[in-house]
């Protein structure tokens, strides 16, 4: 089934949603082959079984034009808001949310933020298994109708978590630091890879859980864990991979710079009755200095788009892990880092697999496996 988007001419949410999906995969495969041609031939792109309705995260902007409220995504390369009814990549829940929020703003006269005045700036929502966590990013908490909004959401979703984020910033950041819980359940709860997950609005989560699960399970399989293995999980985030690994190994050392994410991870470890993870808060290069040489150690890394610092690469190599699995959202920084990991001639690449995490967008994820020779 091919779906068509009527907003694609002016919406900046994606590039080529109305193209043939197989052609987008061919384009991504060609790109990946070119990027990694000096290392080895990558596997075929792991595709989405159904490339629509996969995004669990929805971020909407608001503005006002000639007295009309506009709700949608930013137009490409612009601060203008493309007024939409919903998104076929997000799916049915996006149409429901936009309909409810329009009614809410009209009923309670909630003005969108425009030209330095107004209340509602952004809406951030995650929807998984018909459970929704919705955050209104506002300039003040002095406005009406929140109980009506909560009730309306609860009429349409099985579980609702409603928050405010007070955002008076002058830039386009979605969140500032101040969150206020409004009602419903405090966390968005679901399960993936056998891990009970419980997240707050600011938690990082992959937008395509089906592809993320495939990547995480492949990472687990390729690490070849034993009951003697220590896993070093770098950039461990809210701890989903750490908890998954912990069930198959001796212990996990999870390193993450974001203090809030580590707090979330510790809470989730308790939820999953896991006791063999040591959580470290801070930069990877600083915390790697605290580790001693171990007989059976493997490393999993999942850095941001800018990849690994050279100092982190050097310290990974000093640990002499028997396996390194590198999950990347930026093939170009990934290939740069892989070449540095190969530079001491102690490792070889055994697998490179691209995953179409973002169907119809110009992004692709990579999972690379390195074995110590």
Do β-strands 159-166 and 131-138 pair in parallel, antiparallel, or remain unpaired? parallel
Do 39 and 71 share a domain, yes or no? no
Point out the domain boundary residue: 143, 160, 194.
194
In 139-284, which ranges are E strands?
159-166, 178-184, 188-192, 195-199, 230-234, 251-256, 277-281
What pLDDT shows up at residue 120? 97
| DSSP state, residue 257 | S
Asked if residue 362 belongs to a domain, the reply is yes
pLDDT of residue 161: 99
Q: How many CB atoms lie within 10 A of CB 171?
A: 5
**Is residue 7 domain-resident?**
no
In the chain, how many domains are there?
Answer: 2
- In a domain, residue 13? The reply is no
Same domain? 299 vs 231: yes
8 is a domain residue: no
Q: Is residue 149 part of a domain?
A: yes
DSSP state string for 93-135: HHHHHHHHHHHHHHHHT-PBPBTTB-SEEEEEEEEETTEEEEE
Using only the alpha carbons of the chain, give its radius of gyration: 22
Same domain, 142 and 220: no
- Average pLDDT along the chain, 373 residues, taken 10 residues at a time: 79 82 96 96 97 97 92 85 94 98 97 92 98 98 96 98 95 93 98 98 97 98 98 98 98 97 98 98 94 91 97 96 98 98 96 97 96 96
Residue 163 sits in the same domain as residue 62: yes
What six digits make up the tokens of 272? 């999953």
Cβ–Cβ contacts within 10 Å for residue 278, how many?
13
287 & 148 share domain:
no
- Is residue 270, in this structure, part of any structural domain at all? yes
Domain containing 248 equals 24-50+208-372
Helix, strand, or coil here: 85?
coil
Residues 95 and 61 in one domain: yes
How do strand 120-128 and strand 131-138 relate by DSSP bridges? antiparallel
**Residue 30 sits in the same domain as residue 93:** no
Residues 368 and 227 in one domain: yes
* pLDDT reported for residue 13: 75
Set 127, 193, 329, 334: catalytic member: 329
Taking Cα atoms as reference points, which of 76, 71, 66 lies closest to residue 122? 71
Residue 249 falls in the annotated catalytic set? no
Within a domain: 5 = no
Question: Is residue 17 a part of any domain in this protein?
Answer: no
Give me the phi and psi of 14, to 5 degrees please.
-155, 170
User: Of 168, 194, 220, at which residue does a domain stop?
Assistant: 194
C-alpha span between 249 and 230 (Å, rounded): 7
One domain for residues 212 and 361 = yes
pLDDT digits (tens, 9 = 90+) for 140-164: 999 999 999 999 999 999 999 999 9
Residues 221 and 317 in one domain: yes
Single residue among 144, 161, 194 that ends a domain in this structure = 194
Residue 170 has a pLDDT of 85
Residue linked to tokens 């595709």: 47
| Its pTM surpasses 0.85 | yes
pLDDT at 305: 96
Whichever domain contains 111, its CATH number is: 2.40.50.1070
Compute CA distances 271 → 123, 194, 264, whole Å: 29, 12, 11
CATH (domain of 337): 3.40.50.150
Asked if 115 and 154 sit in the same domain, the reply is: yes
Let me know whether 280 and 331 are in one domain. yes
Residue 228 to residues 224, 231, 267, 319: CA-CA distances in angstroms? Answer: 11, 10, 25, 16
Instruction: Identify each DSSP E strand in the chain by its residue range.
Output: 57-65, 68-74, 81-83, 120-128, 131-138, 159-166, 178-184, 188-192, 195-199, 230-234, 251-256, 277-281, 297-301, 323-328, 347-355, 365-372
Nearest to 241 by CA among 227, 228, 260, 222: 222
DSSP label at 289?
A: T
């Amino acid at each position: 089934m091919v779906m068509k988007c009527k907003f694609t001419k002016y919406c900046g949410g994606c590039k080529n949603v109305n193209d043939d999906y197989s052609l987008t995969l061919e384009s991504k495969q060609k790109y990946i082959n070119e990027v990694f041609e000096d290392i080895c031939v990558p596997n075929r792109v792991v595709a989405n079984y159904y490339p629509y309705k996969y995004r669990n995260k929805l971020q909407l902007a608001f503005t006002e034009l000639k007295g009309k409220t506009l709700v949608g995504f930013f137009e490409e390369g612009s601060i203008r808001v493309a007024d939409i009814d919903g998104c076929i990549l997000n799916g049915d829940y996006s149409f429901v949310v936009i309909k409810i929020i329009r009614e809410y703003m009209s009923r309670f006269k909630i003005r969108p933020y425009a030209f330095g005045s107004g209340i509602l700036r952004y809406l951030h929502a995650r929807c998984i298994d018909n459970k929704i966590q919705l955050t209104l990013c506002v300039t003040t908490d002095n406005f009406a109708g929140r109980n009506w909004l909560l009730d309306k959401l609860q009429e349409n979703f099985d579980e609702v978590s409603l928050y405010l984020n007070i955002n008076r910033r002058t830039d386009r950041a979605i969140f500032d630091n101040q969150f206020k819980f409004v009602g419903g359940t405090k966390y968005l709860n679901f399960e993936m890879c056998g891990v009970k997950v419980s997240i707050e609005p600011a938690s990082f989560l992959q937008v395509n859980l089906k592809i993320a699960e495939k990547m995480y399970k492949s990472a687990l399989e390729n690490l070849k864990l034993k009951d003697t293995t220590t896993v070093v999980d770098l950039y461990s985030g809210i701890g989903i991979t750490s908890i998954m690994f912990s069930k198959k190994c001796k212990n996990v050392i999870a390193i993450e710079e974001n203090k809030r994410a580590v707090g979330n991870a510790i809470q989730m470890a308790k939820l999953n009755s896991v006791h063999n993870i040591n959580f470290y808060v801070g930069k990877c290069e600083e915390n790697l200095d605290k580790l001693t040489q171990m007989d059976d150690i493997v490393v999993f890394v999942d850095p941001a788009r800018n990849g690994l610092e050279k100092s982190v690469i050097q310290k990974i190599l000093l640990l002499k892990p028997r396996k390194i699995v590198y999950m990347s959202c930026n093939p170009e920084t990934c290939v740069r880092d892989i070449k540095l990991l190969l530079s001491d001639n102690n490792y070889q690449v055994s697998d490179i697999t691209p995953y179409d995490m973002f169907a119809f967008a110009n992004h692709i994820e990579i999972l690379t496996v390195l074995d110590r020779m």
